[in-house]
Amino acid sequence: MLQSMTGYGEAEGGGFRVEARSVNHRFLEVHFRLPSTLSPYEMRLRNILKEYFQRGRFDVTITFTESLSPVIEVNTAMVSSILQALRKIQQMEGLQEPPGLVHILWFRDSIFQQSLEFDPEALEGTFRQALSRLLKMRQQEAENLLSGILAGIGTMEGLLREIEELSTVNLQQRVEDLRAKIKTLLQDTEIDQSRLLQEVALLVERSDIAEEVSRLQSHIKLLRQTLNEGPSVGRKMDFLLQECFREVNTIGSKAQEAGISERVVMMKTEIEKLREQVQNIQ
């Protein structure tokens, strides 16, 4: 199923809250913001994300919720060392007040150690839930894009049929015009049929767009097929649209008829619209 590269997903459970956002990007780029306690799990989470997505820039934020209570431990060895040092200072300086809790708390950063006990499987489960919701949103966005892409491809097909019809009529008319022009110039002089045929052949060669039309038809057919190939087709479609633009440019340079030139401009505009839409497909 097609995926857009824009989406958002969140989930909460097991003491964790996960938010995941994605936007357009040529490759897969992932940025995590998470507590230092979870740093050892970042690589595992990154690999899980790759199971779901192939392209896009992802910003993932993971925080602890209030349901996850911290465990506070006291470094008793450190407390003893601090008390001994303070008593030594008291004796050295002849201080009256003995060291107490207030003095020990000056060193609280060294005494108290805070840790969180959590289930890594709960972290992974909540993370997958957020990614599933992100995936669903990306798929919904792609469905919205799909109708516009199909409409654009249909417009291209219609314009190409008109160009093909006009090119046939236009070529026949230009051959007749050439005959009439030569006859007028030469008047009573007998026309050299072989030379006339050479000129007609040259005209046909310069004006013939059959090859470009055929390639365009092939590219458009591939565009339709690619839409059904899977979730990651954006790059291939962008390449095909570039090739379509190239063929349309060649047709525009060969065609001399105003009707064809007008449709060439319309087709270029449609291709540019499609490329903008395809840029957001994974």
Claim to verify: residue 16 and residue 33 sit in the same structural domain: yes
Q: What per-residue confidence (pLDDT) applies to 205?
A: 56
* CATH value at residue 64: 3.30.230.10
Claim to verify: residue 27 and residue 88 sit in the same structural domain: no
Structural domain includes residue 252: yes
Claim to verify: residue 51 and residue 85 sit in the same structural domain: no
Q: What per-residue confidence (pLDDT) applies to 158?
A: 95
Claim to verify: residue 88 and residue 171 sit in the same structural domain: no
Q: What per-residue confidence (pLDDT) applies to 166?
A: 85
Give me the number of domains the chain comprises.
Answer: 3
Residues 6+ apart with CB under 8 A from 142: 1, 2, 3, 4, 281, 282
Claim to verify: residue 236 and residue 126 sit in the same structural domain: no
Q: What per-residue confidence (pLDDT) applies to 90?
A: 84
How far is residue 25's CA from residue 15's CA, in Å, rounded to a whole number? 31
Claim to verify: residue 60 and residue 83 sit in the same structural domain: no
Q: What per-residue confidence (pLDDT) applies to 208?
A: 74
Claim to verify: residue 99 and residue 201 sit in the same structural domain: no
In the chain, which stretches have pLDDT less than 50? none
* CATH value at residue 229: 1.20.140
Q: What per-residue confidence (pLDDT) applies to 159?
A: 95
Q: Which of 89, 106, 137 is the last residue of a domain?
A: 137
Q: What is each CA distance from 39 to 18, 44, 45, 123, 230, in whole angstroms?
A: 15, 10, 10, 12, 33
Range of the domain at 77: 70-115
Q: What are the tokens at 88?
A: 């030594």
Q: What per-residue confidence (pLDDT) applies to 134?
A: 98
Q: What per-residue confidence (pLDDT) applies to 126?
A: 97
Q: What per-residue confidence (pLDDT) applies to 87?
A: 87
Ramachandran angles phi, psi of 114, nearest 5°: -105, 130
Structural domain includes residue 231: yes
